[in-house]
Chains A and B, each alone.
Chain A
Amino acid sequence: AQKITQTQPGMFVQEKEAVTLDCTYDTSDQSYGLFWYKQPSSGEMIFLIYQGSYDEQNATEGRYSLNFQKARKSANLVISASQLGDSAMYFCAMREGRGGAQKLVFGQGTRLTINP
């Protein structure tokens, strides 16, 4: 069964607009972590933001924020004031369990294109 679902294969947004990338997850664990990574055309995976399942507040990192809806099992990434350099693939990922170095499971990704 798909553990991480990203329903938007591609998104096109005008520069300076805000954009929301959707992510839903499936787990029976009470303790888990949610991550977003950016993958530009060069291929490297760049960590953007992390949300723990017990965190009461939504995570924020600069222009990135994570809209965590625990009851709906969604962890959408919001990018404010988009820039041309934001064009890339974006992956949502989940780690089940608490602590240690558990593996990540990734969604299928969303290709974001920022238009000037």
Chain B
Amino acid sequence: GAVVSQHPSWVICKSGTSVKIECRSLDFQATTMFWYRQFPKQSLMLMATSNEGSKATYEQGVEKDKFLINHASLTLSTLTVTSAHPEDSSFYICSAPRDYSGANVLTFGAGSRLTVL
């Protein structure tokens, strides 16, 4: 079945450093991928839509210079949290649409838990 691989699954970094998270569609191609953020005990909030070969589309309130998204190929999107600070600590999860009986269903990666010290 369709699988989305996300790496790393968890990362701890110092304040001020940058962290890159990779999202790969393993057995299907994805021209579009979605990056979500989830704070503890809360729902998923869409951060941005990653578009292969073009710029990402960011949701209102999401700093594009802070959260750099690159969709380098039809199977890879990356999210880079630049100059990370403790308030960026969160669970980041990517997803890609796949066909499900004619409908587009988002398949999610396992998520990346970021802790900024």
Residues 69 to 117 of chain B near chain A (Cβ within 8 Å): 91, 93, 95, 97, 100-101, 103-111, 113
User: 4 smallest A-B Cβ distances: which pairs?
Assistant: A45-B108, A101-B32, A101-B97, A43-B111
**Given A43-B93, A91-B44, A108-B43, residue A100 in contact with residue B105 (CB < 8 A):** no
Across the interface, A47 reaches (CB within 8 A) one of B42, B91, B106, namely: B106
Determine whether A42 belongs to the interface, using a CB cutoff of 8 Å to chain B: yes
Closest to A37 in B: B108
Determine whether B46 belongs to the interface, using a CB cutoff of 8 Å to chain A: yes
Residues of the B chain whose Cβ atoms lie less than 8 Å from the Cβ of A104:
34, 46, 106
Determine whether B15 belongs to the interface, using a CB cutoff of 8 Å to chain A: no
Across the interface, A33 reaches (CB within 8 A) one of B32, B103, B107, B110, namely: B103
In the complex, how many residues of chain A place their beta carbon closer than 8 angstroms to a beta carbon of chain B? Answer: 24
Determine whether B25 belongs to the interface, using a CB cutoff of 8 Å to chain A: no
Q: Chain A residues in contact with chain B, CB under 8 A? A: 33, 35, 37, 42-47, 50, 52, 91, 95, 99-109
Residues of the B chain whose Cβ atoms lie less than 8 Å from the Cβ of A52:
103
Across the interface, B91 reaches (CB within 8 A) one of A43, A100, A106, A108, namely: A43
- Beta-carbon contact of B104 and A103 below 8 Å: no
Chain A nearest CB: distance from B36 CB in Å? 8
- Beta-carbon contact of B103 and A47 below 8 Å: no
